[in-house]
Structure 1
């Protein structure tokens, strides 16, 4: 998959690396700003039960 993306990016290796970095940062931004906040209430990580002993 990564090879396919690399082959389809325009430019030389430096430009491809820069575009790859920008695309990676864009994906991380979208995940943290939109996807993770949307999914957080659906996850059971806040349902913690502690028993008194």
Structure 2
């Protein structure tokens, strides 16, 4: 599994690993929110409605 692999490679004890995991998760979320999603938004047809009258 991927989560035990990440957990074993994080530095520190249990508390340090928890803090590192939270920081890592926050970095991934912010990277997606501010970089990836704006780039993909221009490629998606969000103005085309599929529900008609």
Structure 2 CA distance, aligned partners of 1:35 and 1:2?
Answer: 23
1:28-47 to 2 correspondence within 5 Å? Answer: 28-47=29-48
Q: Which has the higher helix share?
A: 1
Bigger relative contact order (CA 8 A; separation at least 6): 2
CA RMSD of aligned residues (A): 1.5
> Who wins on radius of gyration, i.e. which is larger?
1
Which runs of structure 1 show a deviation greater than 2 angstroms over 4 or more consecutive aligned residues? Answer: 49-52
Structure 2: which 5+ runs fail to align? none
TM-score by length of 2: 0.85
TM-score by length of 1: 0.85
